[in-house]
Amino acid sequence: MNDSKQVVLMKGTQEGITVYLDDECSFEQLLNVLNKKLENSNKEDRTELILHSQYRYLRAEQKEDIREIIENSSSYRIKQFQSYVLTSDEVTKQVNNMSVRPAIRNVRSGQVHQVEGDALILGDINPGGLVMATGNVYVFGKLRGIAHAGTNGNKECVIVASYMNPSQLRIANKISRSPDYDVEGSNREFAYINLENDMIEVEKVNYLPKVRPNLIDRLERGIENG
């Protein structure tokens, strides 16, 4: 048994109490120690914990076991699981979602262009055409059809077009459409969800850094990955 090292170590951090779980002992031992260590804690306490499993990968059912023990034997609540390790599936998914996917094409009526990550289209999206991306949508051409950004539900995503005259804009689960009368489109605009009123709004591209300051970092990273 690994006595020299504490199996469960609680530390106060900026985010609250983080519980570091040893990653070399067996899972059963870990559960035992957790149970013992936490069962004496004050029942009135509603503190939320962050569980850090370090280099141990916890499967979903293992997380459930831990959650059960902690929430049955103590008054602590688990706020979040953290870990240094990810499965290759998770990594692939994250990389995919961060990548910029370029395409040189026109998305014509009846066509659907669907990507994981950010969609970068060097061409037009014509009326009746649809672009879907789990990330942002960038159109270096005329956006006259439908663009859907953040299809997985990410409300931070934006739609940028060098000419914006869409029939519909969709971000996460929000939809906005253009008015029933004919409108002239405008150049270099982007659409985003205003998180204050939860509505899709359209602004000139120069406002983009104000509205989504992190976008450039993400974009640079995405280009490296893609």
The footprint of another protein (CB under 8 A) covers: 106, 108-111, 123-124, 126-129, 142, 144
**Residues in contact with 92: Cβ distance below 8 Å, sequence separation at least 6, in sequence order:** none
Angle at CA 81, nearest 5°, toward 222 and 95?
15
Cβ 203 to another protein, closest distance in Å? 25
Nearer to another protein, 12 or 110 (CB): 110
Nearer to another protein, 126 or 136 (CB): 126
Cβ 145 to another protein, closest distance in Å? 10
Do the Cβ atoms of 225 and 95 come closer than 8 Å?
Answer: yes
Do the Cβ atoms of 211 and 192 come closer than 8 Å?
Answer: yes
Nearer to another protein, 99 or 126 (CB): 126
Residue 16 has which token pair?
């609250």
Cβ 136 to another protein, closest distance in Å? 24
Q: How many residues are recorded in the chain?
A: 226
Cβ 150 to another protein, closest distance in Å? 25
Do the Cβ atoms of 77 and 201 come closer than 8 Å?
Answer: no
Nearer to another protein, 74 or 126 (CB): 126
Cβ 184 to another protein, closest distance in Å? 12
Do the Cβ atoms of 133 and 117 come closer than 8 Å?
Answer: yes
Nearer to another protein, 128 or 226 (CB): 128
Nearer to another protein, 98 or 130 (CB): 130
One-letter amino acid at 4 equals S
Cβ 121 to another protein, closest distance in Å? 13
Strands 8-13 and 16-21: antiparallel
Strands 168-171 and 174-177: antiparallel
